[in-house]
Structure 1
Amino acid sequence: MTRIKLLYVEDEPFLGKIVKESLESRDFEVCMVTDGGEVMPQYLVFGPDLCVLDVMLPQRDGYELAREIRSLNPRMPILFLTAKTQTDDVLKGFQSGGNDYIRKPFSMEELIIRIKNLYQLAGQHSAEPTTPATLDCIRLGRYTFYPHLYELHLDGQVRKLSHRETELLSILVENRNFKVQRRDILMRVWSDDSFFNSRNLDVYITRLRDYFREDPTVEIVTLKGVGYLFKGAEQVQA
């Protein structure tokens, strides 16, 4: 089995040593960096499958690093470790390219579960070339959805989707023509059904509806007090 390669950035040596050793004992391959200024050279040499970034770092903070990593690889899964708890700080993390975050102090079990979930959702475990010919595609009315490419195609036009958008749309399509509970979505995508994440879900649903505006046969119906119903999707294997 291929080991997951983690770039782990943490400026607290004692905590970093404990986390690194714990991850390696679970068969992860870990490259640990303690200085924000040294991250990108290590990133380019190590070639990680996933990045775990502390926010507060010397020289360059986690937000700045996430933006640069995302510019090099739009699909790289990024998990933030942060002691910050303000909504603005969390939003800044997502806006800079983060896929998920975990607040300090955290349990190793929660960290490992979140890492594995991000890795699986990003499709990094597949060794096959990531081209439409080798990946599942899903026909959604006039659209074609390539989950592993993070793309939505319409009449030759390609819309790049974010990790969250892809994750949410995949859940809706899995349950096409059946209702899906709002809380189930929140727990699968954010692992937390807090008010803040609930508002985030509203934003993403609005975005997806806008993406499908060219085909009225594809519809995301809000079931008030329950969740959502995705209509008009027919799945086809490529």
Structure 2
Amino acid sequence: MMNKISVLLVEDEPVLAAIIKESLETRDFLVHIAGNGNNGWSLFRKLKPDICIIDVMLPGKDGFSLVSDIRTVDEKVPIIFLTARKQPEDVIYGLEIGADDYMKKPFSMEELVLRLKVMVRRQYQFSAFRNNSSGMVKVGRFMFNIQKQELTAEEQVIQLSQREADLLRLLLEVKNELLDRKTALLRLWGDDDPFAARSMDVYITRIRKYFREDASIEIINIRGKGYSLIEYS
């Protein structure tokens, strides 16, 4: 990496936080640590990091609340939950409020590094796509502003997260055809394991909601194969 990627790590276990910081900084990341949710929120606003790694169970403001606050001011920064909370409903809720990934403790440091690198690569790939495009794509009654990652229709403006924008872009690249499930998972998540698959399902559901009042757009599930964004004339 030519420029170090800045990481905000919000973790209340000092020993674990120090281990993660040391491991990431040997790989040219620049890590800033906050020991609780309130300090994490202050550091986020001050530093505007490239990536956030956030525990759920934090003193004061918990991780879910922190991510909700972050998403009110920044829809694009990649966020990974790193937590001991393993219930499926926690994973789903974490993704629904705006996290891009969810890793369960105990975890592999190599896997964490890999997931961070996938996020960084995806950011650069999407930036290149935006810079080399006209910037606007019509989707039903909406215009998809690739530069701003927004869907607009008349007075309505929907700000997409980076993951939502990436997934919508893939669907539009093969509009009215099949978006292969495994291909999408590998391109956006870097893995096609069950967790990544469930994560993608959550984002598909969110994108469907944006188009639910537009009868000309439908995202269908082709069981066992993938998804297709259909635009009816």
Say yes or no: TM over 0.5. Answer: yes
CA–CA distance in structure 1, aligned partners of residues 117 and 196 of structure 2 = 24
CA–CA distance in structure 2, aligned partners of residues 59 and 223 of structure 1 = 44
Which residues of 2 match residues 1-238 of structure 1 at below 5 A?
Answer: 1-122=2-123, 136-140=135-139, 142-155=141-154, 157-190=156-189, 191-194=191-194, 197-198=197-198, 201=201, 204-205=204-205, 207-208=207-208, 211=211, 214=214, 216=216, 218-231=217-230
Amino acid at match of 1:214: D
Displaced runs of 4 or more, over 6 A: 132-135
User: Cα distance, 1:52 vs. partner?
Assistant: 0.7
Q: Is the contact between residue 75 and residue 160 of structure 2 (CA under 8 Å) also seen in structure 1?
A: no
CA–CA distance in structure 2, aligned partners of residues 155 and 70 of structure 1 = 24
**Runs of at least 5 residues in structure 2 that lack an aligned partner in the other structure:** none
Amino acid at match of 1:173: L
Farther-moved stretch of structure 1 (74-83 vs 167-176): 167-176
Farther-moved stretch of structure 1 (139-148 vs 196-205): 196-205
Amino acid at match of 2:32: C
* TM-score, normalisation: structure 1: 0.77
Give the secondary-structure state (helix, strand or coil) at the position aligned to 2:93: helix
Q: Is the contact between residue 144 and residue 154 of structure 1 (CA under 8 Å) also seen in structure 2?
A: yes
Q: Is the contact between residue 75 and residue 159 of structure 2 (CA under 8 Å) also seen in structure 1?
A: no
Give the secondary-structure state (helix, strand or coil) at the position aligned to 2:28: coil
* Alpha-carbon distance change, 189 to 134 in structure 1, aligned in 2, over 3 angstroms: closer
Quick one: percent identity of the two aligned structures?
Answer: 38
**Runs of at least 5 residues in structure 1 that lack an aligned partner in the other structure:** 234-238
CA–CA distance in structure 2, aligned partners of residues 45 and 203 of structure 1 = 29
Amino acid at match of 2:160: L
* TM-score, normalisation: structure 2: 0.79
Amino acid at match of 1:56: M
